[in-house]
Amino acid sequence: MTRTDQNVETARYQKDIATRLGIDSDNLIFNYKQKNETVRLDLVTVNPKHEQSFLFHTVTGTDKVDALKKMLEYIDEHYPSANSMTIQWIKIGDNKLHTSYFRAQNMYEALDKFYYGRDMSQYKIFSIVLNPLS
């Protein structure tokens, strides 16, 4: 596959992910990190209301396209069955309480997604709640 073909395929998969999640593509960040023979993809969502970003999920593939395929597989097969959790929090220095929602296996994974790329000392968590099954 040529580099141009790979770029087109990458863009197509990124658009497909945004569509399946029902999130505007402007509110998704695809962070790729190449390490030896693998590519790590951290998919990050941006909440347009409070303009904070959170980790959605991480996968590893042989290249960008493979990592995107694995992310789609996660979205289709595993994401719907993950626990739904609510985290209430404030940013230190701001008095506004925010509510964010995560899908995670447990509260530790939800906190990892919340704190992805940020300084823990700048945020105060008020509650983590496992939401009831619908």
1-81 has which fold? Double Stranded RNA Binding Domain (3.30.160)
| DSSP code for 48 | T
Taking the C-alpha atoms of residue 122 and residue 72, their distance in angstroms, rounded to an integer, is: 32
Q: Would you write out the chain's pLDDT as a tens digit for each of its 134 residues?
A: 566 688 899 999 999 999 999 999 999 999 999 999 999 999 999 998 888 999 999 999 999 999 999 999 999 998 888 999 999 999 999 989 999 999 999 999 999 999 999 999 999 999 999 999 76
Query: pTM for this structure?
Result: 0.90
